[in-house]
Amino acid sequence: MTKKAIIKKKLSKITISQEISGKEGSFGVYVQISSKLGIKIVGGTSVEKHFKEYLKEAIHEARNLREARKRVSFVPRCYGVQSFKIDGKSRIGILMQHLGKKRLENMNINNDYDVRHCLKNRLLKVNILHDDLHNANVMFYKGRYYVIDFGQVTIIKSQ
């Protein structure tokens, strides 16, 4: 079975209850597919009405993730955009590296501002402006911090 077929099979097993229990953000729901793979379901449970709009947003965010990953290592790997169905309803998702469940917002540390400030400065040095960098958009995985949620990111092309 090809990698793409395995992913499609795993996506077909996602249920609405799994989707709702995933980490919900302002523009989607994240669901872990395997120990190394997750999917951000863009638009959460309301995709049917705005499928084209959400597809455009997913492609935009996936491009931002891929470009940012070329410039820095503290961004999850992006494996592309995938359409699929949950309970007969169309969904759009961004397949990406799963970074565990530890977010800066759930960590009991005193220097969360310093962590965000350092990450933001490192992104700015490579011409990436993350307009939504807060504790819920910083993951801690295998001893490193990672920045997620690249939907509201501006990437300036290198000259």
| Whether pLDDT at 62 is above 60 | yes
* pLDDT at position 83 over 60: yes
Give the model confidence (pLDDT) of 135-148 as tens digits: 999 999 999 999 99
DSSP state of 86: E
Instruction: Please count the CA atoms within 13 angstroms of the CA of 16 that sit on its side-chain side.
Output: 7
Helix, strand or coil for residue 142?
A: coil
* pLDDT tens for each residue of 114-130: 999 999 999 999 999 99
pLDDT digits (tens, 9 = 90+) for 20-50: 444 545 567 888 888 999 999 887 655 566 7
Q: Do 138 and 147 touch, CB atoms closer than 8 A?
A: yes
The pLDDT, as a whole number, for residue 73 is: 97
On the CB side of 141, CA atoms within 13 Å amount to: 17
Identity of the residue numbered 133? L
Average predicted confidence (pLDDT) for the chain: 85
CA distances to 65, 99, 133 from 95, in Å: 11, 12, 21
pTM: 0.84
Residue 14 clears pLDDT 50, i.e. is over it: yes
Tokens of 42: 């863009």
Q: How many CB atoms lie within 10 A of CB 55?
A: 17
- The domains found in the chain, sorted by start residue, are 3-155 (1.10.510.10)
Q: What is residue 143's predicted lDDT score, i.e. its pLDDT?
A: 95
Which residues sit opposite 32 in a β-bridge? Answer: 38
State how far the Cα of 116 lies from the Cα of 139, in Å rounded to an integer. 11
Looking at the chain, the whole-number percentage of residues with pLDDT higher than 90 is 54
